[in-house]
């Protein structure tokens, strides 16, 4: 063996030892966990942040984890929380369990004292499904840009959000529901206590989410229980800013009433009886009616709009936005016609005020199909994100950065994603920089945009400002209402679809009895 070969072998061995040594056990508050190394990162999967919410802990606040002895392997993802179906078309159904309060960590740190920014991902899925281990959400590419990426689980469906008079009485806080939000808060508290062991900085935590995950971000910003647990917030295609008059099910009394009806539909005359039921049984019947957050004293005392308006919210910089064709992945408009347009809308969303319907011309069948897509985009996503940016800008307590995603990904024919365009979910492949997870015909502009978005998102996690690294300048939303349009190029422009969105302002202002706070 030559000296050159011998020296090279030693060098390789030392590199491997270094990599393995960083995968050695790490002490957290309840014991020791051991991860695995890959591509310059150390990855910890299935790390518990709260006790399993089983038996008498079902429908209670998350409890501390019992300490364990020895070293706990953190090399496999934990099951997702109980659910039916999947959170997005084409997703592989996850393994599920009621024992599901775990998180996953991707860290580029080589020492515990590096104090890297932390980005915490809250998955979407309409509060009823989704997974912290879905490959699209893996934090590897973001972590390689210098952040500690964390994905967290939370209870879903009726197990995560059931309100009921008995639960309110036993809580001692005159509240029930929002167990899923309490799980998110428990995960953020665990991160505050433990992330330094993984090279993370507890003073630079960003919460981020898409769809229902973004709605959770907006509620965490309004929650006194989440105060001090995060320092920036990212919301993608989801927020909770509409008047409660159009979502009365969010009010505790109404949620308790629906909870009683849900229990009765299962033949259960008490919460004790419901706690004895197998978790899978609870997903049947009226589960959808009780699978939503609740305005209640413990976690969400007031609606996010009112919290922002009063200034009594967790004021941090925000990065928010929505997609140009949100509804294409959510709604089949093939049968929509000019004649059926209003009835189709009412069937999906209930009776909407006439000015909203009139804001979307639908005189021909072709117009009606496009109007359905545009109205649903603005009703479910566009107005909320615009309101979020304006409320934040008006507060003067942290910048707001607003984006509009309009790139059409290379979704292939015959796939579950065919015809989606710049739809709900479409930005995820880009901001996670995960184009290579799919062997699609990605263009040069797709790859360039993925690099831009991953750069913006991680810069924001580092400093509260997405700019830097020679990226095209992204101005704060501010009084000028500037928006970064993300497509073939990153271009600063105004608020898209603003005339239609202004109609929502008028209607919602009338429902509230006062105009929108910031124009």
Active site residues: 211, 326, 424
Contacts of 278 (CB under 8 A, 6+ apart): none
Q: What is the DSSP letter of 290?
A: G
Whole-number Å distance between alpha carbons of 293 and 271: 19
Using a 10 angstrom Cβ sphere, with 0-12 exposed, 13-18 middle and 19 or more buried, the burial of residue 392 is buried
- String of DSSP letters for 237-258: S----S-GGG-GGGBHHHHHHH
Q: Which residue has the tokens 């809250």?
A: 122
Helix (H, G, I), strand (E, B) or coil at 361: coil
Q: How many residues does the chain have?
A: 519
Whole-number Å distance between alpha carbons of 6 and 113: 34
Contact 161, 258 (CB under 8 A): no
Strand order in the sheet with 31-34: 26-28, 31-34, 71-73
Q: Taking the mean position of all CA atoms in its chain, how far away is CA 176?
A: 22
Report residue 501 as tokens: 């969105």
Among 76, 141, 65, 63, residue whose Cα is nearest residue 104: 76
3-state secondary structure 392-433: HHHHCCCCEEEEEECCCCCCCCCCCCCCCCCCCCCCHHHHCC
Whole-number Å distance between alpha carbons of 360 and 354: 11
Using a 10 angstrom Cβ sphere, with 0-12 exposed, 13-18 middle and 19 or more buried, the burial of residue 39 is exposed
């Amino acid at each position: 063996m030559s000296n050159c070969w011998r020296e090279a072998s030693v060098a390789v061995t030392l590199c491997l030892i270094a990599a393995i040594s960083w995968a050695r056990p790490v002490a957290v508050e309840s014991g020791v966990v051991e991860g695995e190394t890959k591509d310059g990162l150390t990855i910890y999967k299935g790390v518990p942040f709260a006790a399993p919410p089983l038996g008498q802990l079902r429908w209670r606040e998350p409890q501390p984890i019992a300490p364990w002895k020895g070293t706990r392997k953190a090399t496999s993802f934990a099951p997702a929380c109980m659910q039916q179906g999947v959170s997005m078309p084409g997703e592989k159904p996850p393994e599920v369990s009621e024992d599901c309060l775990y998180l996953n960590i991707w860290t580029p740190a080589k020492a515990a004292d590096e104090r890297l920014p932390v980005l915490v991902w809250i998955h979407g899925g309409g509060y009823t499904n989704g997974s912290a281990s879905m490959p699209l959400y893996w934090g590897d590419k973001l972590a390689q840009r210098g952040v500690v990426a964390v994905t967290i689980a939370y209870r879903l469906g009726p197990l995560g959000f059931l309100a009921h008079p008995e639960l309110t009485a036993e809580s001692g806080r005159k509240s029930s529901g929002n167990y899923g939000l309490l799980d998110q808060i428990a995960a953020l508290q665990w991160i505050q206590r433990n992330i330094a062991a993984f090279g993370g900085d507890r003073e630079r935590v960003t919460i981020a989410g898409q769809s229902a995950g973004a709605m959770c971000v907006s509620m965490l910003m309004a929650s006194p229980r989440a105060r001090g647990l995060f320092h920036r917030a990212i919301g993608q295609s989801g927020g909770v800013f509409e008047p409660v008059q159009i979502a009365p099910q969010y009010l505790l009394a109404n949620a308790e009433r629906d909870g009683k009806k849900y229990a009765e539909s299962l033949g259960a005359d008490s919460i004790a009886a419901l706690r004895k039921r197998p978790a899978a049984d609870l997903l049947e019947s009226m589960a959808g009616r009780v699978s939503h957050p609740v305005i209640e004293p413990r976690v969400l005392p007031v609606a996010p709009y009112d919290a922002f308006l009063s200034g009594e919210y967790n004021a941090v910089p925000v990065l928010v936005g929505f997609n140009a064709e949100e509804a294409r992945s959510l709604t089949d408009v093939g049968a929509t016609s000019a004649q059926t347009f209003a009835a189709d809308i009412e069937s999906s969303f209930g009776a909407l005020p006439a000015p909203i319907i009139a804001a979307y011309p639908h005189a021909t069948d072709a117009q009606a199909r496009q109007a359905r897509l545009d109205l649903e985009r603005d009703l479910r996503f566009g107005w909320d994100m615009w309101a979020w940016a304006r409320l934040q800008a008006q507060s003067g307590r942290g910048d707001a950065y607003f984006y509009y995603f309009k790139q059409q990904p290379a979704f292939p024919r015959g796939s579950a994603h065919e015809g989606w365009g710049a739809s709900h979910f479409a930005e995820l492949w880009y901001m996670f920089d995960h184009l290579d997870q799919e062997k699609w015909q990605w263009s040069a502009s797709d790859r360039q945009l993925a690099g831009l978005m991953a750069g913006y998102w991680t810069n924001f996690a580092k400093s509260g400002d997405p700019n830097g690294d020679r990226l095209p300048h992204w101005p704060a939303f501010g009084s000028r209402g500037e928006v970064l349009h993300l497509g073939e190029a990153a271009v600063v422009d105004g608020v898209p679809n603003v005339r239609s969105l202004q109609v929502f302002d008028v209607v919602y202002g009338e429902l509230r009895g006062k105009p929108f706070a910031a124009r």
